[in-house]
Amino acid sequence: MIDERAQLGENVQIGQFVVIEADVYIGNDVEIDHHCVIKEGTIIEDGVKIKSFSLLGNSPVKNKKMARKPREDLQPLVIERDVVIGSHVTLYKGTTICEGALIADHVSVREQTKIGKQSIIGRHAMVEPDTFIGERVTIQTGTYVTGGTTIEDNAFLGPCCAMSNDKYMASGRGHHKGPVIREGAKIGHHASLLPRVEIGKGAVVGAGAVVTKDVLPDTTVVGNPAKPLITKK
Amino acid sequence: MIDERAQLGENVQIGQFVVIEADVYIGNDVEIDHHCVIKEGTIIEDGVKIKSFSLLGNSPVKNKKMARKPREDLQPLVIERDVVIGSHVTLYKGTTICEGALIADHVSVREQTKIGKQSIIGRHAMVEPDTFIGERVTIQTGTYVTGGTTIEDNAFLGPCCAMSNDKYMASGRGHHKGPVIREGAKIGHHASLLPRVEIGKGAVVGAGAVVTKDVLPDTTVVGNPAKPLITKK
Amino acid sequence: MIDERAQLGENVQIGQFVVIEADVYIGNDVEIDHHCVIKEGTIIEDGVKIKSFSLLGNSPVKNKKMARKPREDLQPLVIERDVVIGSHVTLYKGTTICEGALIADHVSVREQTKIGKQSIIGRHAMVEPDTFIGERVTIQTGTYVTGGTTIEDNAFLGPCCAMSNDKYMASGRGHHKGPVIREGAKIGHHASLLPRVEIGKGAVVGAGAVVTKDVLPDTTVVGNPAKPLITKK
């Protein structure tokens, strides 16, 4: 079911039961597997591959209870060249997935987010709005990236990490801001990062640590609350 | 593929490749996006919006190993007016989603559960059977709500929390019962709640805390195991 | 959309908008609900039931950044008799789901993995490649099983556990190896297991524990880092 106002390049392979809405742009050599939905206006560059049951270009929803209504004037979703997208993925409008990135199965990425070149977003990972992820970043399976987070180039987040951006937990106080993870920092699996903490360049957060304060560059922290690791001599 | 025994109201918008089975009731001004499946007997009231790839009215499954077989005499799934449902959602029979609630993308909610008016269930959250969630509750992205849990009005659960209802971990001993989270309590992200713990009215559980005992009203606990926060004077 | 080179047994029920590719083998009395995709060569034995939006026989993907490229010479996915598969499930080639196992909604299981007879993989659980799961194992909702893990018969993992297999977090050092969970061990919800730890036969890991060292058989550990529980007399 391809809308006649969609524009398709050469050598595009489209599976069964795919929906491509109006004003979608698809470059050359793109593979779209069975049952994908590409919403109006989405831009997909050359060489992109998309597995089954993925929804590209979704719009935010809201209800009365929501404190912060999502933006409605979003730009199209842009999928740059050679990106690979798994199955059952949801990507929102207003987001850019840069060249060669890999978005694995069951991932959802909200609006106004940038995922840098060659970065990997592991299966079932969740990325909130207004987040910046640099180049060659690895975010492993099941990790949650809160809204307003910055993750610099070459950082590594192990599986099932979590963080938040709201110190006062929906009290309506304060500005929402997520952690800052500096270049090449490594976060162990199942670690928790409190709002606004900065994980310094090259720092290491141990598995299961709860980070309540900034971590200095090239420092390793562990425990709940996380403290610098004292190496036994 | 709309079964002729389904009943549709006025101004219902239905996308491509949607399946609506027999005896489904759909009110007025409902939007059902591409590739949704509405199972037999499901009731959808006026003004409901449903994104792509969602499955409404699913039936429980079982295998030989399961200690507790799911009920088979379930009532229909009821989606009350103005509910918003995201993409890739699975909702079971025997559950009611009350007026104006928001069920975000990739959520699954099992049978015999009630989600109160205006409540928000964040993306990828998981809700087990026999659970009661009050009004204006927020459950953020990736949080797991175990079976037999009570969450009162205006409570807030941050992202990626977990809990359990089985102290003896499948030993066949004891009655399964989840936590009780009283009105307006706040649970920080990645916190863990043990079976049967009560989080008092207005209490606060810090991010990453492991709550092994009841928390008194208006009390803040942190750490593993969680203990009341001593404020430095 | 059933490829003419697929082979179907007797009494196979197939829903709407199902895709069955070439050289798929389907036994007798199989139920495949709406919108499923069965990829080329997949083997589905008698009595299997599959809910909507599931993708069986997926192939691994890769990008330039990936340190370890997935194998490309994988055997077909094999689903043995009487297996039950939920909705929105992704199962990869090269994996075997043994007789009577239950794979719940929103689960993804990667290649080269074996899930033993009668085992249960809870909703939203994630299983990485090269993992061996024994018989009658329970893995509850939202738990993450890393690559190269061994879980022996009758083990129990509560909801939202996590683990990892890479001590040096993508530094390129060391061999990736997950935990070993011995027969009948029980892991509480939201626990974290470090790479290579062995959880002894009949041992118990408390909820929210962070296990950094081996746990002896029939021993209970709690806390971060996890230590043996001292029972008060």
Whether A141 contacts chain C with CB within 8 A: yes
Bridge partners, residue A20, by sequence: A2, A38
- Residues near C182 by beta carbon (within 8 Å), at least 6 away in sequence: C152, C155, C198, C199, C200, C201, C202, C203, C217
Chain C hits for A207, Cβ within 8 Å = 164, 192, 194, 210, 212
**What pLDDT band is residue A130 in, cutting at 50, 70 and 90?**
very high
CB-nearest partner of C223 from B35, B192, B224: B224
Quick one: tokens of A93?
A: 């409008």
Residues of chain A positioned with their CB less than 8 A from the CB of C51: none
- What mean pLDDT is predicted for residues B191-214? 97
Query: Which among B35, B65, B144 has the least Cβ separation from residue C118?
Result: B65
Mean pLDDT, chain C, integer: 95
If you average pLDDT over residues C27-48, what whole number do you get? 98
Q: Give the residue, B44 or A65, on which the prediction is more confident.
A: B44
A216 pLDDT band (50/70/90 cuts)?
very high
Using the predicted structure, report yes or no on whether residue B233 has a pLDDT greater than 70.
no
Q: Tell how far CA A140 is from the center of its chain.
A: 11
* CA B60 distance to own-chain centroid: 15
Q: How much is the average pLDDT of B118-137?
A: 98
DSSP letter string over C194-222?
A: -TT-EE-TT-EE-TT-EE-S-B-TT-EEE
Q: Do B138 and A19 touch (CB under 8 A)?
A: no
For chain C, percent of residues with pLDDT exceeding 70: 99
pLDDT range class, residue A123, cuts 50, 70, 90: very high
Q: Which residues contact A173 (CB under 8 A, 6 or more apart)?
A: none
The answer, yes or no, to whether residue A18 has pLDDT greater than 80, is yes
What is the pLDDT at residue B72?
A: 78
Query: Which residue reads 């009050």 in tokens?
Result: B134
Q: Which of A33, A123, A207 sits opposite C108 (nearest CB)?
A: A123
Annotate A12-50 with b (16+ C-beta within 10 A) or e (fewer): bebbebbbbbeebbbbebbebbbbbbbbbbbbbbbbbbb
Q: What is the pLDDT of residue A231?
A: 65
**Averaged over C165-178, what is the pLDDT?**
84
Mean pLDDT of C169-183: 88
CB contact B170 to C (< 8 Å): yes
C223 touches chain B (CB under 8 A): yes
Q: Looking at residues C39-45, what average pLDDT do you find?
A: 98
Considering only CB atoms, C190 lies closest to which of B53, B124, B192, namely: B192
**Which residue in the set B17, B52, B105 is minimally distant from A108, CB to CB?**
B105
Q: What is the pLDDT of residue B195?
A: 96
Average pLDDT, integer, range C167-182: 87
Q: Name the band, by pLDDT with cuts 50, 70 and 90, for residue A170.
A: confident
Distance of alpha carbon B185 from alpha carbon B193, whole angstroms: 13
Interface contact A189-C162, CB threshold 8 A: yes
Cβ distance of B126 and C104 shorter than 8 Å: no
Exposed, middle or buried, B8 (CB in 10 Å: 0-12/13-18/19+)?
middle
**Which chain A residues are Cβ-neighbours of B220 within 8 angstroms?**
none
pLDDT at residue A233 is higher than 60: no
CA distance B223 to B13: 50
Contact check, Cβ <8 Å, B65/C119: yes
Question: With contact defined as beta carbons under 8 Å apart, do B217 and B181 qualify?
Answer: no
| Whether A37 and B53 lie within 8 Å, measured CB to CB | yes
Q: B6 in contact with C at a CB cutoff of 8 Å?
A: no
pLDDT score of A72: 78
The answer to whether the Cα torsion of A4, A6, A8, A13 is positive or negative is negative
Which residues of B are less than 8 Å from A53 in CB distance? 35, 53, 88
Question: Per residue in A24-74, pLDDT tens?
Answer: 999 999 999 999 999 999 999 999 999 999 999 999 998 887 877 787 789
- Distances in Å between the Cα of B203 and the Cα atoms of B157, B219, C140 are 12, 5, 28
Question: Which residue in this structure is represented by tokens 């001590």?
Answer: C167
pLDDT tens, position by position, C73-82:
899 999 999 9
The pLDDT of residue C232 is above 60: no
pLDDT tens-digit readout, C117-163: 999 999 999 999 999 999 999 999 999 999 999 999 999 999 999 99
Give me the numbers of helices (H) and strands (E) for chain B, helices first please: 0, 32
In the complex, which subunits touch B with 3 or more CB pairs below 8 angstroms?
A: A, C
CB of B172 within 8 Å of any CB in chain C? no
pLDDT at position C68 over 80: no
pLDDT tens digits, C86-95: 999 999 999 9
Q: How far apart are alpha carbons A128 and A148 in whole angstroms? A: 8
Give the pLDDT confidence of B66-80 residue by residue, as tens digits: 877 787 789 999 999
CA nearest C136 in B: which residue?
Answer: B65
Q: What are phi and psi of A201, to 5 degrees?
A: -55, 125
Taking the CA of residue B73 and the nearest CA in chain A, the distance in Å comes to 31
Residue A140: what pLDDT?
97
Rounded mean pLDDT, A176-199? 97
CB contact B164 to A (< 8 Å): no
Other C-beta atoms within 10 Å of A65: how many?
Answer: 18
- Count of H-run helices and E-run strands, chain C: 0, 32
Q: How far apart are CA A195 and CA A167, in angstroms?
A: 6
User: Is A174's pLDDT higher than 80?
Assistant: no
Percent of chain C at pLDDT > 90 equals: 88
Residue A157 confidence class, pLDDT cut points 50, 70, 90: very high
The confidence score (pLDDT) of residue C213 equals 97
A55 interfaces chain B, CB cutoff of 8 Å: yes
ipTM above 0.90, yes or no: yes
DSSP code of A202?
T
Q: Looking at the predicted structure, is the pLDDT value of residue B15 above 70?
A: yes
Beta partners for residue A109, in sequence order = A91, A127
Mean predicted confidence (pLDDT) in B138-142: 98
